[in-house]
Amino acid sequence: MPITPRGFEAMKALRFGAFALAITAAGCNHLPESALLLNPASIEQRQVETRRFDGISEPDLLAACAAVLQDLGFSIDASDSRLGLITASKERNARDATQFFQGLALAMIGVRKPLDTDQTIRASVVVFPALGEKQNNHLVRITLQRVVRTTTPGFVRTEWLKDPELYQGFFTKLSQSVFLEGHKI
């Protein structure tokens, strides 16, 4: 007897239910405590990405962050003052002479390697109150990543940017902006 579309759907639902039950049963094991701890490299990177600013309101600090991002060539994609969040991006060329010559050398022996063409650099900024502190003391965290497109259609890679100099440059400009805002210059 052939399976009707309704019977096929019932079999799919039964298989999905069995799969969900198996996953749930497997998830009942306790996680080791170490699974929830940040590794030292993550803690170090978070320290690079975060700075404290005192004596400025959250709206003024968000405005200063947006201005610095724009000064750095970013376009603001979204912002939500209730969440203390700004996302921004900018398009840049990703071509690299070293990569080009390596690709050329590989092509000479018959190996094709995709070459980077362009990239979108994304920035996410979060401003939040410093815990247990007085009013107008905030932490600012910025994370940077890039999405690189290549000569191979549909091939994209995403990388977190971890260079401390990038973050230091942002925070230096933000400190100057906060100083000017604080003194109404």
Residue range 151-178, pLDDT digits in tens: 777 778 889 999 999 999 999 999 998 8
| 17: confidence class by pLDDT, cuts 50, 70, 90 | low
Backbone angles phi, psi at 120, to 5 degrees: -115, 125
Is the separation of the CB atoms in 150 and 179 below 8 Å? no
What is the C-alpha separation between 38 and 67, in angstroms, rounded? 32
C-alpha dihedral, 168 to 170 to 171 to 175, nearest 10°: 140
pTM above 0.85, yes or no: no
Higher pLDDT, 184 or 174: 174
The percentage of the chain sitting over the pLDDT mark of 90, rounded to a whole number, equals: 38
pLDDT in tens, 33-49: 666 666 777 778 888 89
* Residues whose CB is less than 8 angstroms from the CB of residue 156 and which lie 6 or more positions away in sequence, other chains included: 147, 148, 149, 150
Task: Give the per-residue pLDDT at 151.
Answer: 76
pLDDT in tens, 51-83: 999 888 899 999 999 999 999 999 999 999 999
Task: Give the per-residue pLDDT at 1.
Answer: 47
